[in-house]
Structure 1
Amino acid sequence: MQFRIIPVTPFQQNTTLLWCERTRAAVIVDPGGEAERILAQVAALELEPESVLLTHGHLDHVGASAEVSRTLGIPIWGPHPDDAFWLNALAEQCEMFGFPPVTAFEPDRWLRAGDRITLGDEALDVLHCPGHTPGHLVFFDAKSRLAQVGDVLFKGSIGRTDFPRGNHRQLLDSIRERLFPLGDDVRFIPGHGPMSTLGEERRTNPFVRE
């Protein structure tokens, strides 16, 4: 699995392109804004996008989803249906955070734990990791030992749980019971900031270290 991280908007959230090197089949994970930049990278890399994938329903991770989906003619998959209330409240989120207006939308397919997304020769397993939001998902490529974890875990930190229906206990359980068992060698792409490995965070992250 190949990848390119594109930090977008003043929130510097990570939009990620994931693709199969042989077929160029790709997914666009969490297009949170600046659709033109994302589309330019897709074109420059000569990718063949098949879907938009969403880890969760917060505005800074879904803001450009509808535009990217419409422009490329590809479906939106995810997040888990427990985040439907966040997608339904996109107008209120825009007003709260000073973003340009974004119309509420429903994904073409909700995703759940155990789902698998294929792109060319590659595959992503879907994990449900609630806490930051109740419907937060993680996408894991077992072959290349790479995970896209959204706002569940960061280098040296963890996701916020002070938004509506956030749950600190659930978040810690998601990290310790669903992410750490994937293996210390797994590299992860967080929703904001630099990459790390699960082993590094298990050993040093003050919020979840063992």
Structure 2
Amino acid sequence: MMQFSDFEKDALCEIFNISVSQAAAAMSEIVQQKISMTVPKVEICDISKAINFLDQGYDICGISQQFRSNFSGKAILIFPEHRSLELVRLMVGIDTPLTQVTQLEQDALAEIGNIVLNACLASLSTMFNQRFDLDIPQLVFGDSSSVLSEYDEDNVLILLQIKFYLEERELEGSIVFVVNLQSLLELQKSVQFFVKDINSG
């Protein structure tokens, strides 16, 4: 697998830190609560390693969105399923059992993913000076292998591990970018150009 240098990984981490901060601000607007977050941990890995990493012994909720730019792929916002429903209840103000996922809740989760992933990608678009075309978000529930089942070993995952804090609640989530090797190379070039522009400015 193609490797990023330590400097490139640090730059990528800072880029994603800025973009995910924008996403956290967007989420704060949704749930009407201040959201703080940890600095994302960035790891580039293959599908099997990501499945093992995301496997915490419970089902997860994934909200995925296809994007196309100089580098293309799919962005997936991932939460533990039971915690994602807590987020929905804060958003829409309903009090249904956490074991029951209604159509309203599915629509709310899709909207959360749409807003958060759009905020994240919009920030990347600004920093990389690239336009991103986005598809409608899709929902998937299940264990980590089922959420990532459509991908194979030709794909690479950029895994962002993040903890969101909503006042007294802790909500740990991940944002996963699934790309092929060519797109990963284009991302590496974008990171290098970004760093060069910062240093020359």
The TM-score range, normalised by the shorter chain, is under 0.3
Greater helix share, structure number: 2
* TM-score under structure 2 length normalisation: 0.28
**TM-score of the two chains, using structure 1 as the length reference:** 0.27
Greater relative contact order (CA < 8 Å, ≥ 6 in sequence): 2
Structure of higher CA gyration radius = 2
